[in-house]
Structure 1
Amino acid sequence: MNAPLRSDIAGILFDKDGTLIRYDESWSPVNREAARIAAAGDLQLEPRLLLAVGMDPQTGLTRADSLLAAGNAAEIALGFEAAGSPIDAAELTVLLDELFVRATEYAVPVTDLRALFSRLKARGLKLGIASSDNELSIRQTAERFGITSCVDFVAGYDSGFGTKPDAGMLLGFCAATRLEPRQVAMVGDNRHDLQMGANAGAGAKIGVLTGTGSRETLAELADICIEDITALETLLRR
């Protein structure tokens, strides 16, 4: 059984994909569409592009810490271009960002997010979302699942706080909520989430298993590894 979180934890910063929403169920169809766009009509190129950026075209599973699992639209576009996409990476970044905004409709939540966030908020916690997705997509996801009023901070790769695993998003959350990094628990499904927490000096780095990461890939960086975000409530000191 995991030990409770330290008593001075006053804020939780969540990754989005694989943490708040289940990664493979939510992103498998989106990733296939991303490869279709990048292939520009070349059906033989599509599966090669998927493999190059981290997804098995047969199983639909995405490799932990790959470009699809951990990268932003610009990084994925560069990966597609390097693997043979005929579309310029800058143009492809725009197309992917537009796709990822539309992808909100495919999102499968890990749990009843409105209920969980409401309970966490009732404890007096500050809550934020930091994702490698674009900010509009994050905000639309929060709106869809009814948690906008509970969220104190949102940051995407295009929000001006830098990208993971740099510390900027977590430090931005601290500035917005007047917390010290040691008071923040960083929660994510990939190593870059936890590395961001480490780089910023987060008080806790919590890995979840609803995304592409496993206990093995997360163990080195996670203080605690839990099945999903619903276990957070049992970790919080009353």
Structure 2
Amino acid sequence: MKWILFDKDGTIIYFDRSWMKIGLQLVEDFMEKYKEDINNIDESYAYLGVVDGEIQPGTIMASGALDEMVKAFCKIANQDVTQWAQQRSQTLVDNRVPENVLVEGINETLETLQQRGYKMGIVTSDSKKGVEQFLEYTQFERFFDIVISTEADAVEKPNPEVLNSLFYRYEVDPKDVAIVGDTANDIQTGVNAQLGLKIAVLTGVGLEEEFAKADYIFDNVNDIVDVLK
């Protein structure tokens, strides 16, 4: 491996509860705006993965992929709500107050990998603003050679095109790239882009049974140091 790509939320930091707040608010706003078009409110909440006011792991709203949420909203409302959902989601993201709680030992892990000569990057569904806040708070900018964020109108994981900026800027074979993340979408990105190594971690919203396509499943990101020796 020459490159290691990290998801941010749930991988480098413990899953940011502010994302859950955004997801819940987006669902509530959707239900209110399209309530006249929704056949069954309770069934719709369950379909999206919201139970007793909480987003359940392994569900549509826990995936972090706006495309999946939009498709579900369109199905529930029996109409195309794409533009509204994208705009509302972006507004909520832009006004998010992030919670950056680092996974213990991540600083030492990134230092070790950098010293070993690995190139590293972040691939996240967070916005450019959110990533900049994260890097300013953590002072981790020195570790990362590329940062790929996802705005509302951009491609998202697991679409392999999300990694185009890496392959356009650097001469690297996908087989020499590892991806580390806490959701099935992170792992599927590695599959779709034909990356050489796919590592799942359990510090986020993903369930272990969702990671059948991962090469490794670890309790946290620090365990990759031994695998990448």
TM value normalised by structure 2? 0.79
**Contact 2:90-2:151 within 8 A present in 1 as well:** no
CA distance in 1: counterparts of 2:122 and 2:110, whole angstroms = 12
Q: Which residue is equivalent to 1:62?
A: 56
Question: Which amino acid in the other structure matches residue 118 of structure 2?
Answer: L
Matched, 1:233 2:225: yes
**For residue 37 of structure 1, what is the aligned residue in structure 2?**
29
TM-score, length-normalised on structure 1?
0.77
Give 1:186 deviation, angstroms.
Answer: 0.9
Per the alignment, residue 116 of structure 2 pairs with: 123
Choose the corresponding residue for 2:3, options 7, 11, 24: 11
Deviates more, 1:97-106 or 1:86-95: 86-95
What displacement does 1:153 show?
1.5
For the residue of structure 1 that corresponds to 2:206, the secondary structure is coil
SS in 1 for 2:198: strand
Q: Retained in 2: the 8 A contact 1:21–1:108?
A: yes
Query: 1:125-140 to 2 correspondence within 5 Å?
Result: 125-140=118-133
Q: Are 1:105 and 2:93 an aligned pair? A: no
Alignment RMSD (CA, Å): 3.3
**Separation in 1 of the partners of 2:183 and 2:81?**
28
Conservation of the 8 A alpha-carbon contact between 1:62 and 1:69: no
Identity %: 25
1:197 is displaced (CA, Å) by 0.8
Counterpart of 2:13?
Answer: 21
CA contact (8 A) 1:54 1:68 kept: yes
Give matches, 1:77-226, under 5 Å. 77-84=70-77, 88-111=81-104, 113-158=106-151, 162-218=155-211, 220-226=212-218
Partner letter of residue 22 of structure 1? Y
* Mapped partners of 1:47, 1:145: distance in 2: 40
Q: How many Å separate the matches in 2 of 1:160 and 1:124?
A: 34
Cα gap change, 1:182 to 1:48, in 2 (>3 Å): same
User: What residue is the counterpart of 2:65 in the other structure?
Assistant: 71
Alignment partners' CA distance in 2, 1:207 and 1:61 = 20
5+ residue gaps in structure 2? none
Offset of 1:128 from its aligned partner?
Answer: 1.1
Q: Which runs of 4+ in 1 moved over 4 A?
A: 45-50, 84-88, 112-115
Decide whether aligned partners of structure 1 residues 77 and 145 sit closer, same or farther in structure 2, where only a CA change above 3 A counts. farther
Aligned counterparts of 1:227 and 1:234: Cα–Cα separation in 2: 13
Change (3 A) 1:160 1:83: closer
CA contact 2:199–2:216 (8 Å) conserved in 1? yes
- What SS does the aligned partner of 1:225 have? strand
Residues 27 and 56 of structure 1: CA distance in aligned 2, closer, same or farther (over 3 Å): farther
Superposition deviation, residue 109 in structure 1: 3.0
Superposed displacement of residue 216, structure 1: 1.6
Report the CA distance between 1:49 and its aligned residue: 5.7
How many residues are paired up?
225
Unaligned runs of 5+ in 1: 1-8
Distance in 2 between residues matched to 1:84 and 1:24, nearest whole Å: 29
- Specify the alignment match of 1:53 in structure 2: 48
